[in-house]
């Protein structure tokens, strides 16, 4: 052990030997400097740890722990078109589960393509930073810009596949770069429209580099091609490298134009990053409509420049609002992902305190029954509230609201005006001598006139209403099926649900007995099972094909799963929605005649793994053991 005097040899060398007092002073200074440096380092580490813990989880990289945790003691071998897990001592082949899944039987695409496809069985390594884009044909500068921006998002998705554990990316050979050549020959409009052709063709082949050719008739179709290409690339944890197929060809197009997910942000507020992450997950499954039920009687979190009083009176607080800048940011992100944002401000029912300011500005009662008691008489759940159909200021305000929503979202060919669960008791109490159903019909017509004015003197091609008493006989016949579309939320076996289809209305299906994600969690106000019965599993969602009994007159635009949020907050959104919503995504894209067979389980499990790498906390389908041994669980 060195002596104490040897701690600082330089202090006792040369001319300093004769100054022991100076040496002592220098040693003291250095000691304090060391302690100060250690303190700074400790504070820095503590600050970094605090920052890491406080970061928005949506912005944190998420590894696929289910694959990362696989020990090389196991290998997977493709036998009879299925991956069998073996101990490495039992096989001369060392192959990871992700690679086996991608090569055994068919690659794990979700949703399954609708057209012909072929895939090579050989793999090649690729570099995470080796992707480049060449736009070989484009109908507009805006399409070109969107292609470049969407490609940047895809490249980030690829990079997220690579483990960030400090290890350098390696491979079994020289990794390839991938050149993506995109040709869009069709619409110059980057927006998703009701008539947008979302088809695409993807070919992948190996030359000096890998060449991926994507051809489409629209930006949205090309974006779907990006998504499919990204699903043909995976991370192999055994060799710590990205892999892809040596060659592939896919022709693909959706079965339905409207493939939606509804989120209610009025019962409980969800931060903007949650909405962004949800839209990313939708795009990963090729869903294309984010139906944003933004307001209800509980809160009005949308801050509008044209009617600022609505959020002022109706939001939970200043930290629970969506500003115009928030909306634009969400819409832009969605646009790059091929998703439309359809904002619904429900009316004439499902309004509340947000509309209570009319008398104070000389506009009279804009709404009745606001927070009326006993609420069971006037609404389905507290608090109550319903617009005054005889107040002309209501329609002036609706025109302002509709106009600003169209301006913020850029969606003018489809619009949702609500129309759910009007209370005849409320209007009967406050508007004596009027037939409440006639008032409801008149309100709907006047609301559509306001929408017509807000949309530049023309109605959107599809104006949606919720199915309700108004969409039953005899009032259904008084609605114009060429102007109005119906979102059918009633149970699939209800006579009224089928009557809408038989009457020839353009329809979006959201059957409560199949596609409501909030069912099965009991009632928030008592010990009952709640309003919509048991939990809807992903298998039930997948098996539901309501168009099978089409009478020939049905005009089904598509469907949407609905997530109402009385019993859901930001922390639980991902696990409640995913991967169940992904099941509907494949049903609406591919509409396989087969049900939830074995290959569907395995492909959905793989898709769930992809969602994890993109920061989506998707719930597991089953125990991890079943992911390792799927055919033993099926």
> Region 218-223: what's the mean pLDDT?
98
pLDDT confidence band for 174 (50 / 70 / 90): confident
- Rounded average pLDDT over 415-421: 96
* Pick from 334, 119, 314: nearest CA to 229: 119
Q: What's the pLDDT score for residue 64?
A: 52
Q: Coil, helix or strand for 615?
A: coil
Say if residue 360's pLDDT is above 60.
yes
Which pLDDT score, from 0 to 100, does residue 267 have?
98
Give which of 342, 339, 344, 331 is closest to 293, Cα–Cα. Answer: 344
Among candidates 326, 309, 232, 331, which has minimal Cα distance to 270? Answer: 326
User: Helices 272-284 and 324-336 meet at what angle, rounded to 10?
Assistant: 20
Tokens 């809807």 — which residue? 536
Quick count: other Cβ atoms within 10 Å of Cβ 406?
18
Give the percent of the chain with pLDDT over 90: 80
Does 14 have pLDDT greater than 50?
A: no
Report the C-alpha gap between 251 and 264 in whole angstroms: 35
Cβ burial 202-226 (10 Å sphere, 16+ → b, else e): bbbebeeebbbbbbbbbbbbbbbbb
Percentage of residues in the chain with pLDDT exceeding 70? Answer: 87
Q: Which of 163-172, 186-195, 447-456 has the lowest mean pLDDT?
A: 163-172
3 state SS of 273: helix
**Three-state DSSP state, 76:** strand
Residue 364: the pLDDT is: 98
pTM of the model: 0.89
Q: What is the pLDDT of residue 168?
A: 59
More confident call, 13 vs 619: 619
Is the pLDDT at 313 greater than 50? The verdict is: yes
pLDDT, tens digit (0-9, with 9 covering 90-100), for 252-267: 999 999 999 999 999 9
**Per-residue model confidence (pLDDT) at position 20:** 38
Contact assessment for residue 157 and residue 337, using Cβ atoms and an 8 Å cutoff = no
Which whole number is the average pLDDT over 416-426?
Answer: 96
Q: For all residues of the chain together, what is the average pLDDT?
A: 89
C-beta neighbour count of 288 within 10 angstroms: 29
Q: Map out the domains of the chain with their CATH numbers.
A: 4-54 (no CATH), 113-252 (3.30.379.10), 258-589 (3.20.20.80)
pLDDT number for residue 167 = 58
Q: What is the mean pLDDT of residues 564-574?
A: 96
State which H helix or E strand residue 113 sits in. none
Classify burial at 173, counting beta carbons within 10 Å of its beta carbon; exposed 0-12, middle 13-18, buried 19 or more. Answer: exposed
Q: Are 452 and 524 in contact (CB under 8 A)?
A: no
Residue 141 has pLDDT above 80, yes or no: yes
Residues with catalytic roles: 296, 350, 421
- Tens of pLDDT, residues 585-634: 999 999 988 888 889 999 999 999 999 999 999 999 999 999 999 989 98
pLDDT digits (tens, 9 = 90+) for 25-71: 434 434 444 444 445 444 443 444 334 334 443 444 454 555 555 56
């Amino acid at each position: 052990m060195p002596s104490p005097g040897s701690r600082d040899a330089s202090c006792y060398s040369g001319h300093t030997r004769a100054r022991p007092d100076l040496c002592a002073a220098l040693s003291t200074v250095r000691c304090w400097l060391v302690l100060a440096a250690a303190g700074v380092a400790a504070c820095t580490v503590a600050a970094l740890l605090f920052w890491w813990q406080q970061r928005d989880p949506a912005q944190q990289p998420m590894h696929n722990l289910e694959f990362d945790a696989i020990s090389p003691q196991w290998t997977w071998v493709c036998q009879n078109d299925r991956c069998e897990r073996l101990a490495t001592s039992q096989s001369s082949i060392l192959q990871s589960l992700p690679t086996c899944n991608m090569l055994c039987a068919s690659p794990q695409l979700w949703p399954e393509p609708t057209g012909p496809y072929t895939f090579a069985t050989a793999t090649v390594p690729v570099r995470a930073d080796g992707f480049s884009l060449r736009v070989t044909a484009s109908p507009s500068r805006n399409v070109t810009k969107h292609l470049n921006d969407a490609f940047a998002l895809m490249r980030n998705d690829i990079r997220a596949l690579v483990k960030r554990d400090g290890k350098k990316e390696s491979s079994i050979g020289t990794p390839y770069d991938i050149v993506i050549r995109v040709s869009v020959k069709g619409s110059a409009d980057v927006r998703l429209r009701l008539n947008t052709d979302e088809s695409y063709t993807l070919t992948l082949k190996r030359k000096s580099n890998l060449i991926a050719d994507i051809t489409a008739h629209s930006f949205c179709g090309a974006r779907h091609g990006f998504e499919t290409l990204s699903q043909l690339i995976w991370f192999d944890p055994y060799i710590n490298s990205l892999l892809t197929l040596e060659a592939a060809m896919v022709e693909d197009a959706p079965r339905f134009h409207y493939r939606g997910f509804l989120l209610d942000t009025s019962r409980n507020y969800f931060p903007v990053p949650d909405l962004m992450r949800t839209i990313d997950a939708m795009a990963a499954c090729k869903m294309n409509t984010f139906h944003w039920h933004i307001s209800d009687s509980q809160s009005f979190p949308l801050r509008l420049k044209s009617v600022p009083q609505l959020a002022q009176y109706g939001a939970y607080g200043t930290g629970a609002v969506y500003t115009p800048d928030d909306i634009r940011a969400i819409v832009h992100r969605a646009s790059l992902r091929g998703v439309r944002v359809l904002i619904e401000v429900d009316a004439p029912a499902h309004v509340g305190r947000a509309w209570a300011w009319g008398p104070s500005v000389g506009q009279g009662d804009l709404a009745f029954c606001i927070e009326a008691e006993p609420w069971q008489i006037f609404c389905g759940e507290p608090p109550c509230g319903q617009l005054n159909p005889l107040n002309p200021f209501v329609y002036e305000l609706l025109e302002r609201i509709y106009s600003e929503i169209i301006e913020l979202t850029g969606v003018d060919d489809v619009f949702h005006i609500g129309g759910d669960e009007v209370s005849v008791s409320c209007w009967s109490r406050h508007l004596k001598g009027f037939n409440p159903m006639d008032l409801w019909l008149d309100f709907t017509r006047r609301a559509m006139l306001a929408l017509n004015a807000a949309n530049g003197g023309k109605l959107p091609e599809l104006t949606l209403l919720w199915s309700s008493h108004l969409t039953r006989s005899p009032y259904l016949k008084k609605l114009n099926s060429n102007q109005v579309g119906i979102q059918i939320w009633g149970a699939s076996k209800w006579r009224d649900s089928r009557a809408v289809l038989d009457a020839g209305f353009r329809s979006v299906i959201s059957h409560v007995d199949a596609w409501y994600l909030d069912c099965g969690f009991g009632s928030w106000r008592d010990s009952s099972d709640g309003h919509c019965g048991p939990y809807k599993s992903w298998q039930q969602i997948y098996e539901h094909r309501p168009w099978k009994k089409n009478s020939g007159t049905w005009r089904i635009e598509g469907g949407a799963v609905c997530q109402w949020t009385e019993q859901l907050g930001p922390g639980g959104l991902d696990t409640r929605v995913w991967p169940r919503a992904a099941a509907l995504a494949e049903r609406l894209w591919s509409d396989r005649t087969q049900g939830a067979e074995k290959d569907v389980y395995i492909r959905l499990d793989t898709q769930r793994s992809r969602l994890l790498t993109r920061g989506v906390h998707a719930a597991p389908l089953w125990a991890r053991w079943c992911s390792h041994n799927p055919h033993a669980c099926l």
